[in-house]
Structure 1
Amino acid sequence: MNTSFSLNRPFRLTALATLLTSLPFAVASQEVTVLSEVTVTASKISPLGATETPHAHLASQRAATSDSARLLQDIPGLSLYGAGGVSSLPAIHGLADDRLRIQVDGMDLVAACPNHMNSALSYIDPTRVGSITVFAGITPVSVGGDSLGGTIAVNSAPPEFAQSADQVTAKGLLGTFYRSNGGASGLNAGATLVGQNLSLTYSGASAKASNYSAGADFKAAGPGTTGGPWLAANEVASSHYTTENHDLGIALRRDKHMLQLNIGTQNLPFEGFPNQRMDMTGNQSTQLNLRYTGQFDWGKLIARAYGQNTEHFMNMGPDRFSYGLLGMPMNTSAKTRGVLLQAETALSERDIVKAGLESQTYTLYDWWPQAGGVMGPRTFWNVDYGTRDRLGAFAEWEAQWNPQWLSLIGLRSETVKSDAGPVQGYNAQAIWATDAASFNAQNRQRTDNNLDFTALARYTPEDRRSFELGLARKTHSPNLYQRYPWSTQPMATLMNNFVGDGNGYVGNLNLKPEVAHTLSASGDWHAADTTQWGFKATGYVTWVQDFIDAQRCAIGQCGGAANLSATSGFVNLQYVNQSARLYGLDLSGHLLLGSSADWGRFKGTGVLSYVNGSNQTTGDNLHNIMPINTTLALQQSLGAWTHTAEVQLVAAKTRVSQVRNEVPTAGYSLFNLRSSYETKQLRLDLGIENLFNRFYAMPLGGAYLGQGASMTSLGIPWGVVVPGLGRSIHVALSLRF
């Protein structure tokens, strides 16, 4: 279970600040360029639903969050499951978490936790994010695989190089922020040393926050509330966090070839989770990422190899311990290894072909040491030597038939093998031994042979409008926490939950892969000068065969009449294959309202998203479906200043999952104000989130479990949804030199 590679912990940010002040910044004014020789733009089609977040938008969002997933929140069709302060889980068109392919600098990172606390995007700080591309719904097979809803590709800034051999350039960055709600603060720093063919970089960031406060009139009340201990002054318990991330990079180039190596580490001492029964009391991770990009006479070649080792720890944090509860340690160790080889070539002026091979191996150990002399004397093994290995191959053909018509067709084949070793409970008593013996007696190895297909067509009758139609078949195999958690004892089931609804879950060895069929159509209208105005609309429908939903647990110790019939309270569930349908509409647009020398430019923007999800087998609604919502903004820019006034409108969530006793939420509106001042050397951000301190329950926030007893219903009233952030004033400053 020990990691096979490790690093000494990088020097802290205070030491980096001292180093930066000693660098020869007199040469920092020399020009550097982002590597362009190996960047191939042969592909002509921007896939249906693909959205790249503008750099200016990323910069303004960073000041308000330490959670990289929240940089995605204004993308049409995308919503966020609530989790810890730096670990939100993205959802695209109602499909979330493992149903999406989420890449960080090309690495497919896997959550190593029964609550998915260490999500992929938690391993990159917002200050390090250079670009985000989201493929919603119809995703080319070259960027898809083992996913249903789409792909999110988050990348740090590309390497820079000097323009001539006699240039050696040093650059530095220092940044800091403060947010009033929760007293959040942080520091980030970066250093770059570049020559014509060599680039060395360092980036580091740390952030911490106390528990945040909800808006006015926060009350611990809701359906099923029976009282219990609650913190005062609108404080949302178990929402504080402390995190630190570092990355060292080296890039070498020669002619049209580039080799990059990055080494990243994370040390996260604590992160509270108000919608889970546990908190993350430690997460240490090391990532190695080696990639090669080269341009040849025949086309482009990409090769990548990466690895991640993670040591993860959970227990009850201080807000739960404060009521005299016993601790319950839960530990996880995991290794991820992946490789990619991809080639792209132009067969003719019309045809471009892309093909590749991918492999990923994942190993997981999940064990719970004996707790306080009450649970023991043995270690409880939730998953012992769990493995999930993927091997895939894909091919894509893109054709420019004439100036008006483009097409993209792709096929992907993938084999997913999973397995797990025998398990044991805390002791030999029947409450553990019976389930363990049943699980150990079964064949636990599973092999899924999956097939994906994508077809896209774009029609551009003129420069000012285009239309796209897409059809896709996508497949996703169950994750280890859906197949292998074995105990039906209610305490154990409650610890296996990565959707934050407060219920308990039991695995199912016989789960089949999910197969989604998606049909999507899109239209794009804009002015000849796209800065003047533009409007996009996308409609979609997805049918999912063998959708992994949940049914009331009727086996072992989690069954019983009360569990099967309860219409309120927390329940025990088991994963099961059923059928589902999702459909929806995404709208987005912008309009230049006017400009003048004295007042600058005024621009209006808007985004609206709607999704409807239902279980076709039971007639129930799908869980955690975001209600219809819109974001409208007015932006004014003059010189180095940019000011934004924004309103978010969210409808009531009334379509809820009955099998999970999901709690409805009321509609709400939030007003936000942001300003930024940016020059070549300095950026200042100021803002107020939730200007009127509105109280609201987050539709995807999950059940509020942040305090009181975590292993029983005592002190955790059912029916309370995690409240959103109250008014918060933020300021952020970054200096480049």
Structure 2
Amino acid sequence: MLVKPQQLTLSLLVSLAMTSTAYAEHVALPAMSITGIAGETTPYALPESIISSPDSGDMLKKLPGANINQNGPLTSLVQYRGMYADRVNVVVDGLALSTAGPNRMDSPLSYVPSSQLDNIAIYRGIAPVSSGIETIGGTVKAESRQAEFGSSDEIEVHGNLNSLYSTNGDTRSVGANTSMANQHHRLQLSGSVDRSHDQEFDGGDILPTESDRDTLGIAYGFRHNDTELEFDLNHLDTGETGTPALPMDIIWIRGETLKAGITQQLDNGGKLTAKVHYQDVDHQMDNFSLRQPGMMLRYNDADVLAKGFQLGYSQGNWGFGLDADSAEHNSLISDPSNAMFFVNNFNEVERDRLSAFAEWDGAIADKWQMQSGLRLTHVKTDADDVDSSMAGMMMPVATLRDDFNNADQSQEDTLADIVFKFTRTLSSSLDLELGFARKERAPSYQERYLWLPLQATSGLADGKNYIGNLNLDPETSYQFEIGLDWHQPDFAISPRLFYHHVNDYIQGVATDNAAAIMVSNNMSPMAGTPLQYDNVDAKLYGIDTNWLWALTDHWQLDGTVSYVRGKRRDTNDNLYRIAPLTARTQLSYIQPDWRVAVEAVTVAAQNKISTENEEAKTGGYAFFNLSGQYSVSKAVSVQAGVNNLLDRKYSNHLGGYNRVSGNDDIAVGDRLPGLGRSFYLGLNLNW
């Protein structure tokens, strides 16, 4: 069934035709203000939702303008308004995590399972400069459950247990937190276990999509008068997990993240913060343990070592910050059947950032508020010499190696971000928002240092071979946004219209490097002409909105609509892997102790595809989800539901292409299908 754009909001139009008396105070409304003083919280957090998957990315898709590029069951790459992967600043518990995998198999959201997720939020539209470094594609904040200080010297013991079972893939998930705290100390232990078999669709199995992940964490906090200290140590252990849209699967991802911080309230009303972090993660992947082996068996051992600090000071309307971080990446490809074979893919690639910002937020005139900010960032990258055993047998490989090693790998970029956002109160129930910004991003280490034509592309998953480009310029995006926040006691809607004019957008274009073409044709003849990262010109524009309507004392209707169009400005081509027009509409019936809901997810066909990436079109579709929650007591609640109620077969445009041979249900090169029907049951305990 093809879904026309005008059909996407059919349920919304029908609902607007209804007449009813609504009393919003009787229902659980999302995080929109309906008091007439502000349209939305900032950042805009996901309203309380029922968890039906261990993947936190499934929660993010419910936010306006947000979506997920899905390369595997735990590999969710955030897409916001058409920008994704390295362009979106994803902050997990205050840290912009570095990924160990050159294809972002350990994406930032994979470090926080949904069973441990406290909230996930997005800065709608233009992200403030204080939200992070390189925020050209926005900022997403994910926060895990954290213990709070007590109110007296008496020790309080609290905890939480979340468990989930889903029939699709026989998915099992458990997350637990327990803490002891008084007004000066808090100590928390946390952990989670996620397991699943291969996922299913109406037509067969999606191979391989089994998953295996454990997390463990310990956190301590100390508070005395105006001083607060925190220490957190988290361990991630991801086992064999399939990523069918990528050339290899996860064998393991193991490592630790350590952070410490201090917050000091000053006598002059200001606040001083300081944080340091350290991350050490190892990652192994292969192309034969979870999928049918091909002619060439390959291991890829990768790692990241990252560290950094943040200093911040705020007083009144002003905020200042200094940030610095450094990440070192390695990736070595080997053959388990041939000890002599190797490709030193990335060798001690280092990416260092030093950044400072100033931000002002306050009233500039009657009914006008302004948020303004400036961030300057210096990015320095470097890499050591590379090599491959193939260089002794294939002259083109030797040529590529020597060209890379003889070039100057040390590169430096200076970035400037400027933000102006204005809000005007038009009435007690209507606000106007205008935003203007200049945002920049330096090339990723894959875009710059991928010397051999391979698919180590930060999760691009288009099946093409790429080589890097040492001479890339930073991306520069000029951003404009206009929006309204209309908030009545029983109704609220918050549409945003945006336009991004991007100079030097980094994308693969057909290479004229003869050596790269020969190597790619020899190793991957089905991949076609290899692409080389280059600077092109692009634009992205669209509209997204969230809305809610309290129909009666107990009935509530809410949803989101998101549309983005991505185009090249220097050619007639479209940008790759852009989310189609999507609407989510949910009707809920709410009682004090229980609630039930039906959700319609409606997605239009995506015909605006990238010729350069040989992207395939996808048709429109719609499916329905049912969910329910019952509070047995203040300490116990039960959740249940069914996703894709009618077991609709569809292809998610952001799902990538199948790279796994030997599956009679999905041919190699076909778009990966969306998940079939899945019943789930969850239990939540609090003490």
Code of the residue aligned with 2:606 in structure 1: it is K
Task: Report the alpha carbon displacement of residue 162 of structure 1 after superposing the two structures with TM.
Answer: 1.9
Task: Flag the 1:202–1:212 CA change in 2: closer, same or farther, 3 A.
Answer: same
Query: Which of 249, 253, 266 in structure 2 is aligned with 1:296?
Result: 266
* Equivalences, count: 645
Task: Kindly indicate whether the alpha-carbon contact (under 8 Å) linking 1:337 and 1:360 is maintained by their aligned counterparts in 2.
Answer: yes
1:113-152 superposed matches below 5 A: 113-152=101-140
SS in 2 for 1:271: coil
Query: Residue deviations 1:673-702, cap 9 Å, x none?
Result: 000112321121101000000000011111
Task: Kindly indicate whether the alpha-carbon contact (under 8 Å) linking 1:496 and 1:506 is maintained by their aligned counterparts in 2.
Answer: no
Code of the residue aligned with 1:308 in structure 2: it is Q
Q: Which residue of 2 aligns with 1:51?
A: 44
Task: Flag the 1:158–1:514 CA change in 2: closer, same or farther, 3 A.
Answer: same
Query: Residue deviations 1:336-379, cap 9 Å, x none?
Result: 11110011112xxxxx1111100001111111134412xx6153
Query: Which of 590, 612, 625 in structure 2 is aligned with 1:659?
Result: 612
Q: Which residue of 2 aligns with 1:380?
A: 343
Q: Which residue of 2 aligns with 1:279?
A: 249
Query: Residue deviations 1:579-616, cap 9 Å, x none?
Result: 00000001221111112xxxxx1000121111000011
Matched, 1:623 2:580: no
Code of the residue aligned with 2:197 in structure 1: it is S
SS in 2 for 1:594: coil
SS in 1 for 2:201: coil
SS in 2 for 1:604: strand
Task: Kindly indicate whether the alpha-carbon contact (under 8 Å) linking 2:482 and 2:498 is maintained by their aligned counterparts in 1.
Answer: yes
Q: Quick one: distance in 1 between partners of 2:440 and 2:313? A: 23
Q: Which residue of 2 aligns with 1:573?
A: 531
Task: Kindly indicate whether the alpha-carbon contact (under 8 Å) linking 1:47 and 1:139 is maintained by their aligned counterparts in 2.
Answer: no
Q: Quick one: distance in 2 between partners of 1:159 and 1:301? A: 22
Q: Quick one: distance in 1 between partners of 2:294 and 2:540? A: 45
Query: Which of 476, 481, 485 in structure 1 is aligned with 2:441?
Result: 476
Task: Flag the 1:570–1:454 CA change in 2: closer, same or farther, 3 A.
Answer: same
Task: Flag the 1:519–1:480 CA change in 2: closer, same or farther, 3 A.
Answer: same
Task: Report the alpha carbon displacement of residue 461 of structure 1 after superposing the two structures with TM.
Answer: 2.6
Query: Which of 306, 325, 331 in structure 2 is aligned with 1:360?
Result: 325
Matched, 1:311 2:278: no
SS in 1 for 2:351: strand
Task: Kindly indicate whether the alpha-carbon contact (under 8 Å) linking 1:145 and 1:452 is maintained by their aligned counterparts in 2.
Answer: no
TM-score for the superposition, normalised by structure 2: 0.90
SS in 2 for 1:369: strand
Q: Quick one: distance in 1 between partners of 2:441 and 2:143? A: 24
Query: Which of 457, 469, 494 in structure 1 is aligned with 2:422?
Result: 457
Code of the residue aligned with 1:330 in structure 2: it is N
1:35-46 superposed matches below 5 A: none
Task: Flag the 1:569–1:286 CA change in 2: closer, same or farther, 3 A.
Answer: closer
Task: Flag the 1:129–1:385 CA change in 2: closer, same or farther, 3 A.
Answer: same
Task: Report the alpha carbon displacement of residue 463 of structure 1 after superposing the two structures with TM.
Answer: 2.2
Q: Which residue of 1 aligns with 2:191?
A: 204
1:50-89 superposed matches below 5 A: 50-54=43-47, 56-57=48-49, 60=50, 62=51, 64-89=52-77
Task: Flag the 1:684–1:47 CA change in 2: closer, same or farther, 3 A.
Answer: closer
Q: Quick one: distance in 2 between partners of 1:675 and 1:392? A: 46
SS in 2 for 1:440: helix
Task: Flag the 1:561–1:186 CA change in 2: closer, same or farther, 3 A.
Answer: closer
Q: Quick one: distance in 1 between partners of 2:306 and 2:474? A: 21
1:309-708 superposed matches below 5 A: 309-321=280-292, 326-346=296-316, 352-373=317-338, 377-402=340-365, 404-427=367-390, 428-429=392-393, 430-488=395-453, 493-496=454-457, 498-527=459-488, 529=489, 532-559=490-517, 570-595=528-553, 601-678=554-631, 679-708=633-662
Q: Quick one: distance in 2 between partners of 1:309 and 1:562? A: 33
Task: Kindly indicate whether the alpha-carbon contact (under 8 Å) linking 1:569 and 1:718 is maintained by their aligned counterparts in 2.
Answer: no
Task: Kindly indicate whether the alpha-carbon contact (under 8 Å) linking 1:663 and 1:719 is maintained by their aligned counterparts in 2.
Answer: no
Query: Residue deviations 1:256-312, cap 9 Å, x none?
Result: 321111100011111100101100101001000112222222211121111110100
Task: Kindly indicate whether the alpha-carbon contact (under 8 Å) linking 1:48 and 1:468 is maintained by their aligned counterparts in 2.
Answer: no
Task: Flag the 1:481–1:46 CA change in 2: closer, same or farther, 3 A.
Answer: farther
Task: Report the alpha carbon displacement of residue 560 of structure 1 after superposing the two structures with TM.
Answer: 7.1
Matched, 1:720 2:657: no
Structure 2 gap segments, 5+ residues each: 1-36
Code of the residue aligned with 1:384 in structure 2: it is N
Q: Quick one: distance in 2 between partners of 1:715 and 1:649? A: 25
Code of the residue aligned with 2:635 in structure 1: it is Q
Task: Kindly indicate whether the alpha-carbon contact (under 8 Å) linking 2:206 and 2:666 is maintained by their aligned counterparts in 1.
Answer: no
TM-score for the superposition, normalised by structure 1: 0.84
Query: Which of 247, 252, 255 in structure 1 is aligned with 2:225?
Result: 255
Q: Quick one: distance in 1 between partners of 2:541 and 2:334? A: 44
SS in 1 for 2:552: strand
SS in 1 for 2:123: strand
CA RMSD in angstroms comes to 2.3
Code of the residue aligned with 1:631 in structure 2: it is R
Q: Which residue of 2 aligns with 1:163?
A: 151
Structure 1 gap segments, 5+ residues each: 1-43, 219-233, 347-351, 596-600
Task: Kindly indicate whether the alpha-carbon contact (under 8 Å) linking 1:275 and 1:702 is maintained by their aligned counterparts in 2.
Answer: yes
Q: Quick one: distance in 2 between partners of 1:485 and 1:446? A: 14
